[in-house]
């Protein structure tokens, strides 16, 4: 989920502990290290945004912020 409420649900994907995955807005073929949202428009704000990762029980797992985001200061 981003700050504007755009969400992407990983379907049939298991992210192991300490593993990384790149989430792309556009179209492409999913692999173990890259998944694609298959959207035609961009989601991430280049100036600032926050990406939040939650598990299948909607519990917070991790987040990444850049720039001056809405909820205070720089991260």
pLDDT single digits (tens) 9-27? 888 888 888 888 898 888 9
Q: Which pLDDT score is estimated for 75?
A: 46
For the beta carbon of residue 44, count every other beta carbon within 10 angstroms: 17
Q: How far is CA 54 from CA 18, 38, 47, 57, in A?
A: 15, 20, 23, 8
Q: Where are the domains of the chain?
A: 1-75
At residue 59 the predicted structure's pLDDT band, cuts being 50, 70 and 90, is very high
What are the phi and psi torsion angles at 50 (to 5°)? -135, 125
Distance separating the N- and C-terminal Cα atoms of the chain: 17
In the predicted structure, residue 71 carries a pLDDT above the cut 70: no
Q: Which pLDDT score is estimated for 73?
A: 47
At residue 74 the predicted structure's pLDDT band, cuts being 50, 70 and 90, is very low
For the beta carbon of residue 74, count every other beta carbon within 10 angstroms: 9
Q: Which pLDDT score is estimated for 16?
A: 87
């Amino acid at each position: 989920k981003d700050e504007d409420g755009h969400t992407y649900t990983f379907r049939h994907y298991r992210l192991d502990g300490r593993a990384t995955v790149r989430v792309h807005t556009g179209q492409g073929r999913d692999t173990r290290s890259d998944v694609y949202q298959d959207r035609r428009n961009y989601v991430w704000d280049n100036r600032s945004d926050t990406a939040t990762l939650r598990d299948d029980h909607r519990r917070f797992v991790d987040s990444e912020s850049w720039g001056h985001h809405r909820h205070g200061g720089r991260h």
